[in-house]
Amino acid sequence: MPPELMWEPTRKPQSKLPWMSQLMWRQPPRLSREGEAERPRPQTLPLCLGLTLLVLTLPLHAAIPWTIHTQPTRLLNGAPVLFQVKAPTKLDSLAGTWLGHQLSFSYSPSAKVWFALAGVSFETKPGKYTLELAGENAVTKTPLKFSSTFTVARAQYPEIKVELSVEKKFTEPSPEQLKQIDESKKVKEEYLGRVTPDREWNGNFAAPVDAPTSDVFGSRRIFNGVAQREHQGLDYRVPTGTPVAAMNDGTILLARFLYFEGNCVVIDHGQGLLTLYFHMSELKVKEGDPVKRGQLIGLSGGTGRATGPHLHVAVRWQATYLDPARLMQLSVP
Ligand SMILES: [Zn+2]
């Protein structure tokens, strides 16, 4: 039986004040027990002494513990993770470290929770990993630290052995094509490693097109007999000319042609989170443009190394590719 059902009939409100009874009655049992010291007590101790004891014990036993919730509840390699933290006291700021990455938490006044988006790289081995938190007390300005360990499980990604045929210029490029590949590589190295400090994304992530997917994140494919590394994005089966929308708010980091990616758009959502859209036939934004979730950024196509018209979408978080499908499942506070 759920604890609240067991608790309700046995625990009648003790207060003589009707409004206080209401408040106490609605509290779950754990909070009620913790708040016991604040209840009117039998007249065995003077009230002032009781209050003094309460004040003295507060710093020793924080009334509310740290609580950390994750989405998804089971952490997986290749998947994003949304950390939601409730601190024992009001904080000015909250930062964290996770798998060697720096996290900057935002506060949601409506959900009364600190949250940060992070990820677990595809290569991360199953095991236990620690999230370190460091905050600052909003009143005393003293530092507060907390850490919690999470288990990362291995995700089941499909081993699709699909033989795909692409043009020779992608598998056996000429010296001239190698030069173009190298130029594209330099652009990616220069831009994709950037981390802008402020969060621009806001709320849930939307699908870039309303269409079925044709290949998932993490699958392995064979191009002209050569096994490729795992698929680092999500493919949508869309004909050329389909409008492609920004998955969330951000700033256009890249809007240009790259050798393998074709006409591509990269949106910087801040704090190291990027979304990438490849193989488009037409670009509808310029580098530096601000964009809102759902805004048109281009038309799909089959440019670059594509086996036919489709949209490849990728999510990159601090140099790690994450599953876009799992990012869209998050419910952001
Ligand atoms: Zn793809």
* 328 CA → ligand 1 middle, Å: 17
Q: What is the pLDDT of residue 17?
A: 36
* 277 CA → ligand 1 middle, Å: 10
d(CA 165, CA 162): 10
Q: What is the pLDDT of residue 139?
A: 94
Is residue 244 a contact partner of residue 296, using CB atoms and an 8 Å limit?
Answer: yes
Domain 67-153, CATH homologous superfamily name and number: Peptidoglycan hydrolase domains (2.60.40.1590)
Helix (H, G, I), strand (E, B) or coil at 135: strand
5-62 pLDDT, tens digit per residue, is 333 333 333 333 333 333 333 333 333 333 333 333 444 444 444 444 444 444 444 4
* 100 CA → ligand 1 middle, Å: 28
* 214 CA → ligand 1 middle, Å: 9
* 162 CA → ligand 1 middle, Å: 13
- What is this structure's pTM? 0.79
Task: Give me the residue label for tokens 């209840």.
Answer: 39
Segment-wise mean pLDDT, segments of 10 residues, the chain, 333 residues: 34 35 35 33 44 44 80 97 96 97 96 97 97 96 96 88 74 90 93 91 97 92 77 96 98 96 98 97 98 98 92 96 97 96
Please state which CATH class domain 162-328 belongs to.
mainly beta
Helix (H, G, I), strand (E, B) or coil at 187: helix
Domains of the chain, residue spans: 3-57, 67-153, 162-328
Per-residue b or e along 163-182, where b marks 16 or more CB atoms closer than 10 Å to that residue's CB: eeeeeeebeebeeeeeebbe
* 11 CA → ligand 1 middle, Å: 59
241-260 pLDDT, tens digit per residue, is 999 999 999 999 999 999 99
192-206 pLDDT, tens digit per residue, is 988 899 999 999 999
* 217 CA → ligand 1 middle, Å: 8
Q: What is the pLDDT of residue 280?
A: 98
Q: What is the pLDDT of residue 32?
A: 33
